[in-house]
Amino acid sequence: MKNILFVCTGNTCRSPMAEAILKEKLSNDKMDIRSAGVHAMDGMPLSQGSKQVLETEGLSIDHESRALTETLLAWADLVLTMTESHKRMVKEQYPKNSDHVYTLKEYVNEDAHTKQKREELHQHLTEIELKRSEYLANNQKEVDEYNETNNVSDQEKMEMELLEQIKPHQEAIDRLKSELPSYDIVDPFGGNVDIYQKTYREMEKEIEKLISKLLEG
């Protein structure tokens, strides 16, 4: 593994801090470490909070934000996002080139049992979308009539029928979500330096696990 890409929202807070931490702790010339943002504007500076915390920790990074692109995604051997939402956005936007995308916490912490639960969760979410599509297709005439008449009672009837069909899947989703750990790194944007410091420590802990995993591989 040679190329590692961290991804957050704007590429001004979390992902550049993660990039700086890994570069400092890994000290491996054979690995190229970069960062990007799913909603980043190219050329923005590091946030003041991130800069202050990195300086306090004796780290520095020459950084300008950049947007995630398909080229960057293809360049990376491993993509580590800061949240599950980031991961989902990357996979939805680049479905053909995202098998190597994980959240940072997922990649370093997930065991077989948790992975199985996440796969079950994904299956139930997929089933709900399929049942919604099937229900609308099978009741297209009623949908068209509702669009013409705006009859509220018809709408409520259809919604109740659909909810009854997806109820077992929704109950399973609620249960699995309550059992699964959160794999999100807290966003410090807009917070004071203490919040940035807390985020730094959270990432540092996970990146130390990442280094152990990379060196083992």
Residue with tokens 């360049």: 75
Per-residue pLDDT, 151: 74
What is the per-residue pLDDT for 217?
66
Mark whether 12 and 88 lie in a shared domain.
yes
Catalytic residues: 8, 14
Domain that holds residue 76: 3-110+183-216
Q: What is the pTM of this model?
A: 0.82
212 and 155 share a domain? Answer: no
Instruction: Let me know whether 50 and 118 are in one domain.
Output: no
Structural domains in the chain (count): 2
Residue ranges in the chain whose pLDDT is less than 50: none
Q: Computed over its alpha carbons, how large is the radius of gyration of the chain?
A: 21
Considering the domain architecture, whether residues 106 and 208 belong to the same structural domain is answered as yes
Could you tell me the end-to-end alpha-carbon distance of the chain, in angstroms, rounded to an integer? Answer: 9
149 in the same domain as 116: yes
Considering the domain architecture, whether residues 89 and 120 belong to the same structural domain is answered as: no
Rounded to the nearest integer, the mean pLDDT of the chain is 94
Tell me the pairing of strands 32-37 and 3-8.
Answer: parallel
13 and 45 both lie in a single domain? yes
Same domain for 126 and 197, yes or no, is no
Please tell me whether residues 83 and 118 are part of one structural domain: no
Same domain, 163 and 207: no
Is 12 in the same domain as 86? Answer: yes
The enclosing domain of 67 has a CATH number of 3.40.50.2300
Whether residue 194 sits in one domain with residue 90 = yes
- To the nearest 10 degrees (0 to 180), the angle between helices 48-56 and 193-216 is 60
The H-or-E segment that residue 127 falls in is helix 112-138
> Within its chain, how far is the Cα of 196 from the centroid?
19
pLDDT tens, residue by residue, 83-141: 999 999 999 999 998 999 999 999 999 888 998 998 999 999 999 999 999 999 999 98
pLDDT reported for residue 145: 78
